[in-house]
Structure 1
């Protein structure tokens, strides 16, 4: 491959398909530590253009180097070193991509096509954050920036032209989407978390990310409710005030898992009367269940358990996988367009040199002709064709028929020459 901006690109890393979770955990770099790692890449690997993307799905370095093969080997050793493992043990789990393959990979990552959950919206934000850190560290050169900006443009097209980001793909996102279908924008709703299990915190964070900011936590043990409320920046309420809290809540998530129902049919009926039948969305994430099943028969009470939400999530995943085919087409188009633009830029210096050479020969011919235009043009033509003619004769004399034919074909294409035999047909 010729020495172009694209050919100097290299990506080295480990992702959810190539490596074990243990290796990715060992490789993981916190945001605060990224500048230090980038400095090590500069000082120890001699890189001037590099970015580090470190997420739960992947840890990889994208860099530009004059010798991508040697750079890839050095980066593999570097990653093994920061993970404190033998490079031989990591060899089968760390991949190296160069040139066009590296471009295609980078575009696919930004478009969230290389993620465990296809279409996850936060992936592009992670790539942008990694790029900001590289830029702040002075590692964002023009060649690397061109690839990264191309990846951002590709991700934008994928988002706007395909349905890859539509449909919930996890239990928590299914709950959020269902709540939105019922209530609309969640920033106008109130939420209640009953219990402090892991699913309660996960659901709370998902709803907060979706815009539900007015959140109350209650649990049979007040100390646990206080702790969860502090962690998620919510309000804590004594458990004996649950019936009152239920009346003011539009979204209710339970994760108690006790021997008796935390929320009964009568409590929900009372809450609906006080709410003038404004609907309540309830998620029962308790094992065993926390909400009396008969609640689901109430006209304005919408009760979902984990199985219900998992069915919605499975449907969303299937929809995204179908949309991924169209998204991959977009990635292919964007990679092809990017490579074409970069090839044009790489050819620009040679074109400029050719023009400068022709202009110099023109000036020499004019000076040598002493104002005789006919003589000047003959001199110019002879001088322009001298080197190509010598090259063709030299190749022919060496008996290198393949090179002669290739050179002759290139000259015919460059100067739009036609074979006399072909023109006679």
Structure 2
């Protein structure tokens, strides 16, 4: 018969942006190259199934094990070794989730509902990449595959049925959205970044990630421009040659924050003439601003500053918060369905054992009846009911102390056999 003590349970042990410090997550971080070794250590310690999800928001191990306490101890020890800290040093910064709580967390993470920025599209890809590494390491059994397949289905529903990922929620993503509104796909666009301010670098990085095929960096200080161009793996331009750089740029990002406007209406008009009136998108993230607001009055020039970008980002965050509530409804519904299916799978070994027992009794009754069908059916009914009847009598004869046990057994018997 099935022993519930050895049923594999979904268990998650980890640290995320709510439970732990950034310093600890940095120490525990397991990059792709290190994951096979980390997984091997978990296997050697006694985990037969495990997936490691390591991002800037979280470091988690999803495992299948019959004992949550044992799994927690194994994973905590692996984390301690990875981060060069003691297990006491991890106390209060790790969480352990088991059974339905672990499944719900897995669904929420995969659907990007548990991230610092709700709805970010890269999370699903990260989960799939970690899943692949685990599978290649031989640590993905059928239970793990079933859970992750369900998680991917949840993420797909959330993406297709809600607006959780439809609006930009950061200044950088807002800039990308405005650029796409003007130019469409960005794969044919060139961008120019003027200045080495942090926000300008973030926006430029997002533009590259969105498909911009060429980016030129120029800054008042050449050393800063060289450093930024190297980090972004892009081209370097001469800041003093601004008038020559501008006409080639479909997107102009400024992050100089100087005392005077760097770009005026006359600069844009000259660039547009050389561009044959092809429009230009300008993003000014300088404080104070680098681009004269009069540029907005130039036909073909579309200027957005930090106020414009922050407004769109705030609207996006509000939209995602509403959509997230709808998404959690999907997660709860899928969790109920998954839990019912899992409970049904847990019952399978007992059902198989019961069927095998009945078949054995049937074969014995047929053999003893010698071809007499009536005798065989009487023998079959008698023998199938003998042991359950004895057990029921023992429970009923146990006195008042077993009344609750008798009531439960009687209810189960009536439910199983549809007794009136």
Which bracket does the TM-score occupy, shorter chain normalised? over 0.9
Asked whether the equivalents of residues 113 and 119 of structure 1 are also in contact (C-alpha less than 8 Å), the reply is yes
**Matched residue, 1:422:** none
1:57–1:192 Cα change, 3 Å = same
Distance 1:230 1:315, change over 3 A: same
Map of 2:309 onto structure 1: 309
Q: Which blocks of at least 5 consecutive residues in structure 1 are unaligned?
A: 419-425
SS in structure 2 at match of 1:78 = helix
Give the Å deviation of 1:376. 0.6
Superimposed CA distance per residue, residues 251-294 of structure 1 (whole angstroms, 9 cap, x where no aligned partner): 11112223333222211111223334332110112233221222
Cα RMSD of the aligned pairs, angstroms, is: 1.8
CA contact (8 A) 2:6 2:66 kept: no
Alignment correspondent of 2:61: 61
Q: Is the 8 A contact 2:10 2:102 kept in 1?
A: yes
Once the two structures are overlaid, the 10-residue window that deviates more, 235-244 or 335-344, is: 235-244
Moved more, 195-204 or 145-154: 195-204
SS in 2 for 1:113: coil
User: Which has the higher mean CA deviation after the structures are superposed, 317-326 or 269-278?
Assistant: 269-278
1:106: Cα distance to partner? 0.7
CA shift at 1:239, angstroms? 2.4
- Render the CA deviation track for 1:21-60: whole Å, top value 9, x for unaligned: 12212222222111111111122x2111111111111111
Paired with 1:234 and 1:61, the residues of 2 have a C-alpha distance of: 37
1:223 CA displacement: 4.6
Any residues of structure 2 matched to 1:356-371 within 5 Å, and which?
356-371=356-371
Q: Matched residue of 2:337: which SS?
A: helix
Q: Which deviates more from structure 2 when the two are superposed, residues 365-374 or residues 70-79? A: 70-79
Distance 1:220 1:95 in 2: 48
Q: CA deviation at 1:372?
A: 0.8
Partner of 1:245: 245
Match of 1:18 in 2: 19
Name the CA distance, whole Å, in 2 between partners of 1:355 and 1:70. Answer: 34
For the 8 Å contact 2:14–2:61, the answer to whether it is kept is yes
SS at match of 2:168: coil
SS of corresponding position for 1:30: coil
Please say which of residues 400-409 and 323-332 is displaced more in the overlay: 400-409
Further displaced range: 128-137 or 269-278: 269-278
For the residues of structure 2 that align with 1:305 and 1:80, how far apart are their CA atoms? 46
Give the aligned partner of residue 423 of structure 1: none
SS of the counterpart of 1:202? helix
Q: Paired residue for 1:278?
A: 278
Contact 1:4 1:346 in 2 (8 A): no
- 1:159-205 per-position Cα deviation (integer Å, ceiling 9, x unaligned): 11111001101110010011111221111322111122322322122
Q: Is the 8 A contact 1:168 1:313 kept in 2?
A: yes
Partner of 1:128: helix, strand, or coil?
helix
- Report the counterpart of residue 46 of structure 2 in structure 1: 46
Secondary structure of the residue that 2:211 maps to in structure 1?
coil
Aligned equivalents of 1:136, 1:205: Cα separation in 2: 32
Q: CA deviation at 1:233?
A: 3.2
**Is the counterpart of residue 79 in structure 1 residue 96 in structure 2?**
no
Alignment partner, residue 404 of structure 2: 402
Look up the match of 1:319.
319
Question: Which of 404, 410, 418 is the aligned partner of 1:416?
Answer: 418
Count how many residue pairs are aligned between Structure 1 and Structure 2: 416
Quick one: distance in 2 between partners of 1:323 and 1:3?
Answer: 40
Deviation at 1:300, TM superposition (A): 2.4
| 336-345 vs 309-318, greater mean Cα deviation | 336-345
- Corresponding position of 1:262: 262
